Amino acid sequence: MKQRLLPGILVLAAALTGCSATSQSPDKLSGPGAHGTAAVHGAASAALESLPVKDRAPGSGYDRTERFGPAWSDTTTAPGSRNGCDARNDILARDLTQVTYQAGSACVIASGRLSDPYTGTRIDFVRGPRSAAVQIDHVVALSASWQTGAAELTQEQREALANDPLNLLASSGPANQHKSDSDAAGWLPARTAFRCPYVARQIAVKAKYGLWVTSAERDAMNRVLEHCPGQPLPGDRSAGVTLTPS
């Protein structure tokens, strides 16, 4: 199955705009999410044009835990995994400022402050009864990914997709809940200044994991990118997350 995803990596390479790949050898790029070594910098619009366009497949067979593994696993092939901290705390550590850790832990975030990319509001995160005020969003929702190609991936690849920092953002809990499993045709961030980076991140995830877009989704993405034709794709390596050497 891994060879199936090579076109997705080639899509990213074709979209590059002068940024070179990482220093690791090209053969490390064969497994999407395996080590996070793909250079994901380039024009989002060019990458979008290279994505397949198909209707959503049926949602039958989707099960969050069975198909994508336990939530926030630290034992996947996603970048940053196997570092001793679960994926949720990795993303909180990356996306929050003024971070404090739970006593005796080098992983568990006790508090911090989020400048929410989706709403532009400031949210104080405190672990406990109100911790759901900040949630970790799958930028490409897992159920939506299941219907746009993820059902054809291996279990290992799906678990990487569910825990890949490229596909995860700390965000407002209510905004995340409102988004649910919508794609770009059904939901965009209320903060218009973040719509271009948001769509670019979705495109990067889909290209990396060999997923497709629906025609409505492609059209919605194109409408956003018309306002930022030079929008780059986000970096595949996640700042603030320690990568396990490959």
CB 43 within 8 A of CB 232: yes
Domain annotation covers residue 179: yes
- Looking at residue 204, its amino acid is A
Count of domains observed in the chain: 1
* Minimum mean pLDDT range among 5-19, 86-100, 161-175, 177-191: 5-19
| Higher-pLDDT residue of 37, 28 | 37
Q: Tell me the mean pLDDT in the region 120-143.
A: 98
| Higher-pLDDT residue of 24, 68 | 68
pLDDT band at 38 (very low <50, low <70, confident <90, very high): very low
Domain annotation covers residue 243: no
The angle at the Cα of 17, spanning 222 to 77, to the nearest 5 degrees, equals 85
First to last CA, the chain: 20
- Please list the residues that pair with 138 across neighbouring strands: 168
For the stretch 172-201, pLDDT in tens is 999 999 999 999 999 999 999 999 999 999
- Please list the residues that pair with 113 across neighbouring strands: 97, 124
Domain annotation covers residue 235: no
Domain annotation covers residue 242: no
pLDDT at residue 99 greater than cutoff 70: yes
> Count H helices, E strands: the chain?
9, 5
What is the pairing mode between strands 122-126 and 134-138?
A: unpaired
Alpha helices in 5-70 (DSSP H): 6-14, 44-50, 64-68
Domain annotation covers residue 232: no
pLDDT at residue 1 greater than cutoff 50: no
Percent of the chain with pLDDT over 70: 79
| Higher-pLDDT residue of 27, 40 | 40
The H or E element that residue 137 is part of is strand 134-138
Tokens of 218: 């492609």
CB 234 within 8 A of CB 19: no
* Nearest residue to 78 (alpha-carbon basis) of 178, 158, 198, 189: 158
What is the pairing mode between strands 97-101 and 134-138?
A: unpaired
pLDDT at residue 151 greater than cutoff 50: yes
What is the structure's pLDDT at 57? 97
pLDDT band at 236 (very low <50, low <70, confident <90, very high): confident
| Higher-pLDDT residue of 11, 29 | 11
- Please list the residues that pair with 123 across neighbouring strands: 114
pTM for the structure as a whole:
0.83
What is the structure's pLDDT at 13? 41
Domain annotation covers residue 68: yes
Q: Which residue range(s) make up the domain with 49?
A: 2-225
Domain annotation covers residue 180: yes
Q: Which residue has the tokens 């024009």?
A: 43
CB 11 within 8 A of CB 51: yes
| Higher-pLDDT residue of 224, 32 | 224
Average pLDDT of the chain is 85
pLDDT band at 41 (very low <50, low <70, confident <90, very high): low
What is the structure's pLDDT at 31? 37
Count the neighbouring beta carbons within 10 Å of the beta carbon of residue 49: 15
Greatest distance between any 2 Cα atoms in the chain: 50
Q: Tell me the mean pLDDT in the region 1-5.
A: 42
CB 230 within 8 A of CB 157: no
What is the structure's pLDDT at 235? 83
Domain annotation covers residue 237: no
pLDDT at residue 10 greater than cutoff 80: no
CB 137 within 8 A of CB 107: no
